[in-house]
Structure 1
Amino acid sequence: MTITDPWIKTSEKGMTAAFGTLVNNTDAELTIVSGTSPLSPKVELHEVVDSGGKMVMRPKKGGFVIPARGTHQLTPGGDHIMLMDITGKVEPGAEIPFTMTLADGATMQFTALGKDFAGGKEDYQPGKGGMDMGGEDKS
């Protein structure tokens, strides 16, 4: 299991998210079930779904499944690694370490590069049933 082009959205405080392409080079399906980073005491695997015509973020039940010899995209507005209550700024070029845990207990480590990104206009503020993705970027 590897990740290509890992990056993390720059942020002053609060929440941010990490993205990239998960790559499974094995002959078996792999599932990432959790993650950690020294930048945040709370790291969650999130998805974005349509809930009554409104796009909301919520924890992804079962984690990220990467098919055998396949990939899984982590993108703004889609599946992503969410960091809450970050303990420091994420500036452009920052290198943020992550450790992801798979369902079988194995781990993978990577470093995400800080990158400015405003394209999704993510609000990252708690909302009903999930996190509202429709607001202005307040990070």
Structure 2
Amino acid sequence: MNRLLLPVVFLALAACTPTPKIPSKVAVADILCRPTLNGRDVTGCYLTLTAERDDRLVSVSSPAAGTAQIHEMKVEDGMMKMTELKDGLPLPAGQPVSLAPGGNHIMLMALTQPLSVGDQVSLTLSFEHAQQIGVRAIVSQPAVAAKSPDTAG
């Protein structure tokens, strides 16, 4: 009787053991931070994130800044407003999410020193599911989007 019970116990234990959680991966591309303006200790950083599975960018940190936040730009009552995304930025599976001038971006505040073109800034990106990613952003001016014929003038 005990010989029959032993395989049942092993199967029951195996069913209760959680399956290992494989962390999602997030690809990071096109990373840059703007140079600071004279007398300012804030700047914006831009990049593109592509998550393997649904995820969320929940926070950013940098040794170059006292505070780093994920910001959203939107028009409210005819005014452009910038607000922190306190719940983070959703990253739908397989869809590139761009943080770009005039839209969502990373805001570095209380910079430890001015940033000049050619400098590098270390950023640590934290996600809801994926492991933290450390990246280095080059300091440069973002490319200006070309105007379409419909918007020229």
Fold similarity call, TM over 0.5: yes
SS in 1 for 2:58: strand
Task: State the TM-score, normalizing by the size of structure 1.
Answer: 0.78
> Over residues 87-127 of structure 1, what are the superposed CA-to-partner deviations in whole Å (9 max), with x where a residue is unaligned?
111111111010011113721111111013596xxxxxxxx
Instruction: Indicate the structure with greater strand content.
Output: 1
Aligned partner of 2:121 among 88, 96, 100: 96
Determine whether 1:17 maps to 2:44: yes
> Over residues 46-105 of structure 1, what are the superposed CA-to-partner deviations in whole Å (9 max), with x where a residue is unaligned?
000112100010001421111111210100110000011111111111110100111137
Distance 2:41 2:113 in 1: 9
Partner AA of 1:91 in structure 2? S
Q: Identity over the aligned pairs, expressed in percent?
A: 26
**Partner of residue 7, structure 1:** 32
Q: 1:30 to 1:78 in 2, by over 3 A?
A: same
- What number of residue pairs does the alignment pair up? 117
Distance 2:95 2:83 in 1: 24
Compare CA radii of gyration and give the structure with the larger one: 2
SS in 2 for 1:77: coil
Partner AA of 2:103 in structure 1? G
Instruction: Indicate the structure with greater helix content.
Output: 2
Q: Following TM superposition, where does structure 1 have runs of at least 4 consecutive aligned residues deviating by more than 6 angstroms? A: none
Distance 1:45 1:66 in 2: 13
**Partner of residue 88, structure 2:** 63
**Partner of residue 43, structure 1:** 68
Aligned Cα root-mean-square deviation (Å)? 1.7
SS in 1 for 2:118: coil
Task: State the TM-score, normalizing by the size of structure 2.
Answer: 0.71
Partner AA of 1:70 in structure 2? Q
Partner AA of 1:16 in structure 2? T
2:31, 2:46 within 8 Å by CA — same for their partners in 1?
A: yes
